[in-house]
Structure formats: structure tokens, C-alpha cells
Chains A and B, each alone.
Chain A
Amino acid sequence: MNFHGAYTGKVLRIDLTNKSYVIEDLPEEWKSLYMGARGFNMIRLLEEVDPDCDPLGPENKLIFGVSPASGTNMPGQRLNVSAKSPLTGILGDSNTGGHWGTELKYAGYDQLVLEGKSDKPVYILINNDKIEIKDASHLWKKDPKTVHTVIRDELDDLSIQVICTGIGADNGVKFAGLFSNIMRANGRTGMGTVMASKNVKAVAVKGESAIRPHNFEKYDALMKDLFKKIWSHNEFEMRMMLGTTHLIHTLNSTGQLNTKNNQTGYFEHGENVSGERLAMEFNVKNKGCFGCVIPCSRYYVVKKGEFKGLNAEGPEFESLAGFTSRILNGNLEAALKCIDLCTQYGFDTISASSAVSFAMECFERGLIDIETTQGLDLEWGNVDAVIELIHQIGKREKFGALLADGILKSVERLGKETEPYAMHGKGLDVFLGEPRGIKAYGLGLSVASRGADHVRSDPFFETIGDRQKGLERFGEPESANRLSTKGKGKVVNYYEALCVISDSLNCCKNTMVSMDIMGFDELAEIYNALTGYEMNGDDLKRIGERVVNVERIYNMLCGVRKKDDTLAKRFLEEPMPEECGPTAGSVLELAPMLDEYYEERGWDLETGVPTRTKLEELGLEKYISKLEDAGLEVK
């Protein structure tokens, strides 16, 4: 079957309680209002998932979304998985590369919705329009590699795409993700935990359709132009060699690398754990997401020493810095081992490494001792203890069990005095850059709809240092200065919308956003060739804005208020220490940036609630009464 116009127009909804399914039409108006993937998932969440529901109860829904570009030759396609988050209690959403999302599209669906709860472990088999719910008791509490291998063996199909939970999700760890292509993670906000709560171990999918854009010739030509822009970009070779791991060196050399649980921005053993060293000594080839012309993921093999024989895809910057600078570990091979264990247990490496560094700082300050840790010596850099702790968290045993429910629960269990060392926003652990050194990122983390996450806005623009460009793009020369707060509300506003479009077309933010290859106008041209719509750059920006507001409404219904648009106090109050070079002395002055951000958004400065005018302008007026019912004033 061929899908013309790039939407399949179909949604597969599976009710696990009753073991039944239905194939529905995608609401036609969603296409032009929400575009795809993240946009579709967010409106589905707001429409169907009660903000007051138990995230691990049957009423939560796990939503998989792909885009009109999925399955075409758009470089590096991705997948969004969303639900109410068991980690943060607000909107949950995660994004991954790999090949699973494309296969869902080829099977004939723009979206998959899992609802209810199975009475026993199952996995779902989607073979085009044939759906089966199969027993998975033999797969429960198994790691992603085993699950992939067993499912492929029993279906006698090497190429079937699998997405599954690891051991941790099945044990109820709250920051567990979903894993496809064995090592590709939908990491953030506990989407694996939600799937495991429904007793679903995996979804295997096979699709045989072909995709034909509305205007094939135009679309194919636009893609070929895009390829050329990527290949001639001055970062092409660096990204092919290092992926995102170049950031260890880049950030460390300017004192902005999250080190020692954000106590500092400089790691003295940074070069020993850098992406450059990884590339020179360990990498054997590149790996790529589906259809990528700049496949920047890498495959490594450890050829000697204690961890000889260890091999895997990755790691990316966040995982690598998480298990090196964040925990003060200078042993690269040991870090690779930690990351590999996180894959087996199926963790989000950002939250897992944050759990460890939080515990280490509490240990350093005497807030917990060797009795609390049941014998684990959590001195900084003690990687043997870290390896043991990862096992404990995954198995939910001993001291690890205290950390397995996420950073907010850990504080609750270990005592109020540990709170200043929990590096999060809205219950989601921060990334591995240092928000005091990149202030638009600091603002972006504070307002991000899935909790303190950097790829909701990814405002790399502030790092370019080109004042003229700052003036041209945002009317403020300082907007291109990472250490300034000026113009950052505008910058974050712009990049939040761009990231929505990137996530809703499921294209790669490395190329679309960080490499500054395409703006809204170019994306509109691509979208039009794909679908036959006639939109311009402003229309796309409006879609981005609409999705950000849908997310805001959902979060406010979950209880988020203006006071939650912030980060751990350390970022706001403790100046960066002397060794951080150009970043030394910096703090995150959030208040003025927030005001500018709200103003740009059309949100009330005092309450952070979207204004009536803004909601009406975006066609979201039907949600005003819901906000009012929740006790919020919509001005």
C-alpha cells in the first residue's frame, strides 16, 4: 500500500484491559493544527488523559507518535512517546532516534495509543493491519538485548522492529525508558515505567507500506538540497567523528561542564574522558538513525583492560558526562560500563547519573553515611560503588531502592536538608551542561514543559557570540552572548517553537536546530511538499506556539504554577567557582528572563497562566473553563 500526502491518517488504539483494538481515523483538523508526532501526542494527552490520574494506573495512556516525514528520506528520523509522567507527575514526553518509529509508519499508523492494563505480561505484535497480543511472561525483567533477540527468534524475523522496557521499568524504577534497536532510548520522564505498569514488555512492529509525498519531485529535490547543506557544513566531519561527545571538551574548556553534581563547571580529568579520546581509542564505526546522511552515532569496542570485550552503540554526551564529570570519575572504560548497565536496566542515563551524584554529594556533606548506604562508600569518583549502586537501583534493593523513585522522592526519604543538592526542575534532573554558563539554557530548563530539559528549546544561538546576528535575529546584540540575560526570553521563545516543529516532523535537532541549517520558512516548504498544505514560516511558528500552550495547559491542570518555573537554588545563588575560567562568578539571574519570556508568550506575568487573548488567538479557548475549574484565573 502507498500512502500519498505522507499522513497515513490512521491511529491504532489498543485496550490492554480487554485485549482489544480499534483502528481509528486521525482527526483531520489535527494535521494543520498540530503537524504530527509530538504535536499529536500533546493534544491527545490533553484531550484524553486526566491530569489527576495515577500515572501508573490503567487510566494513563502511553502514546507513540510519528510524523508525515517518517519513512521518507528526511535525515535521521525520530519517535515521540508520551504519557503523564510517573517521575514528575506532569506531562511526560520522550524522543528517540533509531528505526522503530519509521516502521510504525510503514505499518500504516501516525499514532499508537496504549490504554488500560493487561492482567499479565504481554507483548504486542503489529504486522501491518494484523494485531496480536502475545504472552511475555518469559520476557519479564529481561534486558533489552535479550528481549530483542528472543522476540526476533520466536517470530523468525530478524528485521522486525522492537521497542521494549529493561529490567528497571519492570521493577518500577521511575526513570526507566523504552529501548529500540537494543540501545536507542526514549529516556526521559519514565515512559518505560508507564509501559511496564500496563504489563506491556514490548511492541514489535513490521510494516510494508511505501510513502509518497504529495509532491514527490519537489520533496525529493528539497531533501537533496538539504543533504548538500549538511555535507558542506563546517561541523560535518566533527559531528561524524564525535557526535555530541565533542561537548565534553568544548564545555569543559570554558567551565560549563556539569561537574561534581554542579558544584563546578570544570573537570580536571576532562580530556581523559573526552569524545576525542573515545574516537581515537575505542570507536570502530559510525551508526545512524533511519535514513541519516550524517550518521553521528558511533559503535565502540573496548579492546583491553578490565572491561575488555565491552561493545555498544554510543554513548552520547549526556550519558558520557553523566558517568564521568558529574560523579568525578576519570576512568573512561568504567564510565562505558556504567552506561551499558543503564541500557540493560533500561534507565534514563541523565536521571540515573543524577541520582548517583546527588547521593555522593549528600555523602560528602555527611547528610547520609555508610550506614544509610548500607556499606557503599560513595566517595566522589568511586566507580566500583557506582556500578554496585546502578545494580541496586535496577533491582530496587538496599540503598538503591531509596533512589529508584526519582530525585523528589529521594529528597523526601533522605531528609529536607538534602534538598539543596537535588539538581532538578519540576522533578526532572538537569542535563550535563551548566545553566549558569549558558543562561538561555537556564531559562529553557526552568520553563520546559517536561521538567528541566534542554532539548525543549536547545537555544544554542546564545553561544555563537556574534552581536550583529543577535541584533538581527532578536533585536538584542547580547542575545548571542551566553553569559548575558538580555533577549533570552525571545531566544527561548523562538527555539521552543522550532523544537516543537522539529519534534513534530520527527527530524533530528542536531541538524535542524543545533547546526542552524533550517528555519521556519524552509521547514514550511518541506512540509507543504510533503502534505499539499500551503503554509508559510509564520504558520509553522504558530503551530509551535500552539503546542507549547497545549503543554502549558496540561501542566497547569496537573498543578504546575509560576513558582515551579525555576531550578535548584544552587543555580540561582551560588556563583561558579574560580576554576571555571570565563564562566567563573556567574549565577543564573532567572527573574528578568522569565518576565521577558512570559511577555513574549502572552502569559500572565504574575501567574504564568496563558492569557485569554492568547488562548483565543490559538484556537484553544475551549480549555479556558478547564483552567478556571482548576482554580486558575485566566486574564
Chain B
Amino acid sequence: MRLKVNYDKCAGCRACELACSAKHYQVYSTKLARISIVKFEDKGVDIPVVCRQCINAPCIANCPTQALYKDEETNATLVNKDDCIGCGKCVEVCPFSAVRMDENGIAMICDLCGGNPECVEVCATKAIEIQGIDKTSEKKRIAFAEKQIDSVLKKWGLK
């Protein structure tokens, strides 16, 4: 699974950041969150930035100490704190700029809260949702195939 973001729905309230810091650090902080809301107040636009849980994750591939690995059950990218040296390579290579480091220099990457993401729980506008990776690609495949129906029907004189 991964988090899906509906950019046009985010209310910019940052409840997700607080839920995240509470879950992982037992404090309330916008800086210690693995999800981050970037607010463009002059345009009224709020954009949640969060890990996409890439299948071929550049952060994992580039980690010099192999501190990052995949959770087999949830597909979340996990950090082995003991191996993380705080070099920042994962921050650098993340195509979504979704990785930050905590105050001890340990990589902060969304771990999907073990399968029940707290940020999704508190998001009242459903700007962040859980997305099953396989199911979505299936839907996309069907949607692509559907678009081809008309050309076939036209050929058969039915459209």
C-alpha cells in the first residue's frame, strides 16, 4: 500500500503532521513529521508532500549502509536506526523530496504506521487516502482498455 494525495482537497490544517509526530516521537511537532504540508497561502493551495513508497525505491538503492528496507507486508520503506549514519543520501535522491531527517540525523520516512496510517485517520477532507498498489494499477489498466472500446465498436458499425 501507499498514501495517495488529492492535492485539490487539502485544507492545510496540518493535523496529519501532528498525528505523525505523536505516533513516532510522542510529541506534537510539525518538524518531526514524515508528512509535510507546503502552503502557498497567496494562492490558497496546500500541497501534502509524502513518501510514495516506490517499488524500486532510489532511497533504498542509494543508501550506503543498507539501513533502508521494505516491509514485506505493507510495502513501507523502513529505516534501521542503528545502521543509519545520517549522510542524507536518501534526502538527496528522493524524487518527491519526501524524506527529511530528525534532530538526531536519522532519516524520517513514512512507515505507513504499520498499515494504519494515523495521518489518513485524522484527515477530515480525505486529501490523503490509502491506496492499494496492485488494485490501482488494475483499475488503470481497465480504464485504458475501456478507451479502446469505441474504436472497435465503430469498426463493427455499432457506433
Q: How extensive is the interface on chain B, given as a class? A: 20 to 34
Cα separation A145 to B44 with both chains bound (whole Å)? 11
A210 touches B21 (CB 8 A): yes
Q: Is B88 an interface residue (CB 8 A)?
A: no
Q: Which A-chain residue is minimally distant from B26 (CB atoms)?
A: A216
Q: How far is the CA of A106 from the CA of B29 in the complex (A)?
A: 8
Chain B contacts for A299, CB-based, 8 A: 44
Check if A292 sits within 8 Å of B42, measured CB to CB: no
Question: By the criterion CB–CB under 8 Å, are B27 and A285 in contact?
Answer: no
- Chain A residues whose C-beta falls within 8 Å of the C-beta of B25 in the assembled complex: 210
Q: Which residues of B contact A272 (CB under 8 A)?
A: none
Q: Chain A residues near B18 (CB, 8 Å)? A: 72-73, 291
Q: Is A2 an interface residue (CB 8 A)?
A: yes
Question: CB-CB < 8 A to A295: which residues of B?
Answer: 11, 13, 124-125
Does A174 count as interface, using CB distance less than 8 angstroms?
no
Q: Which residues of B contact A285 (CB under 8 A)?
A: 8-11, 125
CA distance A158 to B47 in the complex (A): 13
Do residues B11 and A290 form an inter-chain contact, with CB atoms below 8 A?
Answer: no
Contacts of A71 in B (CB 8 A): 28-29
Bound Cα distance A212, B25 (Å): 10
Which residues of the other chain, B, contact A158 by a CB distance below 8 angstroms?
A: 38-40
Residue in B11, B15, B124 whose CB lies within 8 Å of A73: B15
Q: Which residues of A contact B39 (CB under 8 A)?
A: 158-159
Contact between A288 and B44, CB atoms less than 8 A apart: no
Q: Which residues of A in the span 302-338 have a Cβ within 8 Å of any Cβ on B?
A: 311-313
How many interface residues does A have (CB within 8 Å)? 42
With an 8 A cutoff between CB atoms, is B52 at the interface?
A: no
- B118 and chain A: residue at smallest CB distance: A224
Inter-chain contacts of B27 with A (CB < 8 A)? 2, 210-212, 216
- B15 near A286: Cβ-Cβ < 8 Å: no
Per-residue A-contact encoding for B1-36, CB less than 8 Å = 1, 0 else: 000000011111111001101100111111110000
Nearest-neighbour CB distance to chain A for B31, whole angstroms, equals 6
Chain A residue with minimal CB distance to B39? A159
Which A-chain residue is minimally distant from B9 (CB atoms)? A285
Q: Which chain A positions have C-beta within 8 A of B28?
A: 71-73, 210-212
Q: Are A182 and B41 in contact (CB under 8 A)?
A: yes
Which A residues are CB-close (under 8 A) to B32?
Answer: 210
B125 partner residues in chain A, CB cutoff 8 A: 240, 285-286, 295
Q: Which residue of B lies closest to A227 (CB)?
A: B122
Chain A residues within 8 Å of B46, by CB = 287
* Interface assignment of A52: CB less than 8 Å from any CB of chain B: no
B12 with A284: CB separation less than 8 A: no
With A75-B15, A149-B42, A181-B41 given, is the CB distance from A293 to B124 under 8 Å? Answer: yes
Residue contact B122 to A212, C-beta cutoff 8 Å:
no
The CA of A144 and the CA of B26, in the complex, are separated in Å by 36
Can you show 9 pairs from A to B with CB atoms below 8 A apart? A71-B28, A76-B13, A158-B38, A210-B27, A216-B22, A220-B22, A285-B11, A286-B11, A293-B13
